[in-house]
Copies of this chain bind each other. A is one copy, B any other.
Amino acid sequence: MRTIFTTLFIFWGFLSAGAQTTDSLNLLPRPQTVKLQTGRFIISNKFAVGINGPGSPKLIASVNRFYVQLAKRTGVIFPQEYISGKENPADAQLAISYQKSINPVIGIDESYTLTVTPEKIALTATTDIGAEHGLETLYQLLTPAGSGFCCPAVEINDAPRFKWRGLMIDVARHFIPFEVLKRNVDAMAIVKMNVLHLHLSDDEGFRVESKVYPKLQENGSNGLFYTQHQLKELVNYAHDRGIIVVPEFDLPGHCSSILAAYPFLASYPANYKPARRFNIDTIKNSSLGKIMQLINQVQTPTIDPTKESTYVFFDQFLREMSSIFTDPYFHVGADENNGVAWKQNPAIAAFMKAKGMKTTDDLQAYFVNRMHGIAQKYNKRIIGWEETFNATVPQDVIIQKWKPAAPADTLVKSIVGHHNQVIISAGYYLDMYFPAYIHYLTDPVPANLNAAAAEKGILGGEAAMWSELVDGGNEEIRVWPRTAAIAERFWSDAGVRSADDMYRRLWALDFELNDRAVNEYDSYIKILDRWVNDEELNTAITLCNVYTQVKGYKRLMAAILSPGEVHAKTTLTTPLVGIADAVHTDSETGWYFRQLVATYLDKHDAASLEQIKSQLQRWQSNKARFNALAANSPYLQQIADLSDNLSNAAGIVLQALNNEGNKDDQLKQLQQLEKPRHEVQLAIGQSLEALVTGKLKPEPAAYSMF
């Protein structure tokens, strides 16, 4: 929700009939073609819906949800109590027609055409899923207009660029509650994503109820896992919204939680327990290089791929999981296995020798091929992270690219050349705290692939939310609205690349996401409200709205990267309730302020200057109220330096705007005040500096992971 700067900008998205360009619409993802027409359709109490098609239960449910939501948004009492799909009223103002009702499958026809005239709205699609996408677009056309709501007259033809538009959620490191998953699915449907990939097991936890192997959840989960009933409900829930669910069980590494339950699967005997992330005591005071070396040398919990009993186990397991996860994919992980556990086990070494395997990579390939054979029994295609790829991998195995690489990615080219298909996650890692535009400007197709190879080989992409520093209390803040920018990258034309236009639409979409899907704003407020013990909230909001996380893995690897500095601890028991946990990675306030500063530096107009000064004064004076609240707030006391810094920075800029003081000194002071603390940094630093120097630097084109 916007509380600041909005008066300047509220007319950007506002409809003035006849004088509108495509750019003023708030559609996200942007459709392939949008032709604005003259006039507008007004939402009234005559708004009836007719459906013409083969009776898709999921489309009928979607239409009813849309109808109820539209009534809630507009306050209009609509004529139909329930749209059964059979009545098809002749006077329907919204006429939906489609030809096929199908289960969501990768590669189906998802196109739709939406025609709005002042009299009527027509939505046509080949499939019910295409029609569902069209409903989402129609909802985004809704605009308040005086005493009512309308949609601009428009003709839209739309279809996705990529078949696979996914969001991966790691529910293993921190458990993500079931309700949160459902809300993510709601948000995904709004931005037309179609794959929910759940990272269901890792060293730290196993999150699915197994009835065949109940110790998996009993010994592997600390009590936090999804029941089979819940997962079946989730799969149905996702299917109803055109989304498939891909389960991942990370093998043969990343499996402490599985070995804690069934140690006979292990490559070496040990007292296995679900792991605790980052044992800081053992790795502190090491360089990154040394740590990476260590990671490659240390024996880590790994499945023994040489025993037949392993495959008997996973055959039974896959059979059971296939009754829950009915979509035709099974993700086996296969990442970050250093092979040390295998090398150090003489029996495994002997097995490799007997089979003529030269490296542990060959043994992993053997494991993947065996799993591939099992998966075929249950009509599943195997997916694996990029380490899965080698010369012997079957061509129907899908490879998920995750390691950052140059725009011309040689691995992807090799994979596509080998006729395997690829899902791109490199560039879309949400745990790096990169702002949305960085992901947005990353194209899934590497620069060295020609169009034909890309068309054949690149299935699409997936945003990835690893959960070392995310739990149910902040997952929605971290994922949304940022992921919508990635969703547009996967859906819209490659040429749609204006970051500023994306942000303009993203803030509008954020309202819709909060209203219809996620509790992102509520999660934020819940954390801040605890800090202030339910006293006045605005002060904390004012502060947090202009801070954002330090970029890259600096916090996650704090003890490694900066052993001398004090960093927030990142064990699994750390409550994720600090400022770096609460704030958004993209600062809406910071973006609006930057626009304002850019306007002022361009025009030097009094109106902009006045708004800037008024905002700076608000930041400057926020400190007094902050300190009053801090008397009763342990957490505010801890971050009082951030409040001081914001106040001081605003004061310095006000001085500079009044032409007082020395600009060089002011700039140095600002840069000092902008230094990261508590794992966050000022999101308005460049804008503040620009008000001193008169020059606004462009946003960085890239950030470092470390």
Segment of A104-112, A631-639, A686-694 engaged in the interface with chain B: A631-639
Q: Do the beta carbons of B575 and A77 come within 8 Å of each other?
A: yes
**Interchain CB contact (< 8 A) of A522 among B73, B510, B522:** B522
Q: How far is the CA of A77 from the CA of B71 in the complex (A)?
A: 46
Interchain CA distance A519-B534 in the complex, whole Å:
15
Instruction: List chain B residues, Cβ under 8 A from A2.
Output: 534-536
Pick the contact of A632 from B82, B144, B637 — CB < 8 Å? B144
Q: Please pick, from B1, B182, B519, B538, the residue contacting A3 in the complex, using a CB distance under 8 A.
A: B538
Contact assessment for B473 and A72 in the assembled complex, using a CB-CB cutoff below 8 Å = yes
- CB of A68 within 8 Å of the partner chain: yes
Once the chains are docked, how many angstroms separate the CA of A434 from the CA of B230? 38
Task: Assess whether A632 is in contact with B147, with CB atoms less than 8 Å apart.
Answer: no
> Known contacts being A511-B529, A519-B519, A632-B144, is A573 close to B77, with CB within 8 Å?
yes
| A576–B71 CA distance with the chains assembled, in angstroms | 9
Q: CB of A78 within 8 A of chain B?
A: yes
Query: Is B75 in contact with A575, judged by CB distance below 8 angstroms?
Result: yes
**A635 in contact with B179 (CB, 8 Å):** no
Assuming the A-B contacts A61-B223, A81-B222, are A634 and B147 also in contact, with contact meaning beta carbons closer than 8 angstroms in the complex?
yes
A230 — which chain B residues lie within 8 A by C-beta? 229, 233
Q: Smallest CB–CB gap between A74 and chain B, Å?
A: 7
Contact of A634 among B146, B526, B573 (CB under 8 A): B146
A81 lies within 8 A of B229 (CB): no
CB of A562 within 8 Å of the partner chain: no
Question: Hey, what's the 0/1 contact readout for A212-236 against B, CB within 8 Å counting as 1?
Answer: 0000000000110001011011000
Task: Tell me if A496 counts as interface (CB < 8 A to partner B).
Answer: no
Q: Give the Cβ gap from A442 to chain B, nearest Cβ, in Å.
A: 28
- State whether B144 touches A633 (Cβ < 8 A): yes
Q: Do A1 and B81 touch (CB < 8 A)? A: no
Q: CB < 8 Å: which of B6, B182, B537 contacts A536? A: B6
Cβ of A633: which chain B residues have Cβ within 8 Å of it? Answer: 144
Choose from B60, B78, B575 the contact partner of A71 (Cβ within 8 Å): B575
Judge if A572 is at the interface, Cβ distance under 8 Å: yes
Q: Using known A-B contacts A233-B229, A578-B75, determine if residue A1 contacts B537 with beta carbons closer than 8 Å.
A: yes
- Closest chain-B Cβ to A530's Cβ sits at a distance in Å of 6
Whether A10 lies near B637 (C-beta < 8 A) is no
Contact A573 B81 (CB under 8 A): yes
Candidates B64, B232, B521, B577; contact of A72 at CB < 8 Å:
B577
Chain A stretch 506-565: residues in CB contact (< 8 A) with chain B: 508, 510-511, 514-515, 519, 521-522, 525-526, 529-530, 533-538
| Bound Cα distance A620, B637 (Å) | 35
Task: Judge if A149 is at the interface, Cβ distance under 8 Å.
Answer: yes
- Contacts A82-B223, A222-B82 given: A10-B530 contact, CB under 8 Å? no
Say whether A571 faces chain B, with CB atoms less than 8 Å apart.
yes
Contact A10 B535 (CB under 8 A): yes
Q: In the assembly, how many copies of this chain are there?
A: 2
Decide if B223 touches A233 in the complex (CB within 8 Å): no
B residues less than 8 Å from A71 (CB atoms)? 573, 575, 577
Q: How far is the CA of A76 from the CA of B575 in the complex (A)?
A: 7
The one of B77, B276, B529, B535 in contact with A515, judged by C-beta atoms closer than 8 angstroms, is: B529
Q: Counting chain B CB atoms within 10 Å of each CB, which of A2, A179, A538 scores highest?
A: A2
Closest B residue, CB atoms, query A571: B77
Q: Are B222 and A6 in contact (CB under 8 A)?
A: no
Task: Given A146-B634, A223-B82, A511-B529, verify A3-B537 contact (CB < 8 Å).
Answer: yes
A343 contacts chain B at the CB level, 8 A cutoff: no
Q: Is A569 in the interface zone, CB < 8 Å from B?
A: yes
- A14 within 8 Å of B by Cβ? yes
Are B77 and A6 in contact (CB-based, < 8 A)?
A: no
| Complex-state Cα separation, A80 to B6, whole angstroms | 46
Chain B residues with CB under 8 Å of A64's CB are 222-223
| A530-B229 in contact (CB<8A) | no
Tell whether A569 pairs with B223 under 8 Å between CB atoms, given A515-B529, A634-B148: no
Contact yes or no, A1 B529, CB < 8 A: yes
Q: Which residues of B contact A149 (CB under 8 A)?
A: 634
Q: What 19 new A-B contacts, CB under 8 Å, besides A81-B222, A511-B534, A515-B529?
A: A3-B537, A7-B535, A71-B573, A71-B577, A72-B530, A72-B575, A72-B577, A75-B634, A75-B635, A77-B569, A77-B571, A144-B533, A146-B634, A147-B634, A227-B233, A229-B230, A230-B233, A511-B533, A515-B530
Q: Please name 10 pairs of A and B residues whose Cβ atoms are closer than 8 Å in the assembled complex, sorted by A.
A: A6-B535, A71-B575, A72-B577, A78-B573, A81-B573, A229-B229, A229-B233, A508-B534, A511-B533, A515-B529
Q: Which 10 A-B pairs have the closest CB atoms?
A: A511-B534, A229-B229, A71-B575, A522-B522, A82-B222, A72-B575, A6-B535, A72-B577, A147-B634, A144-B533
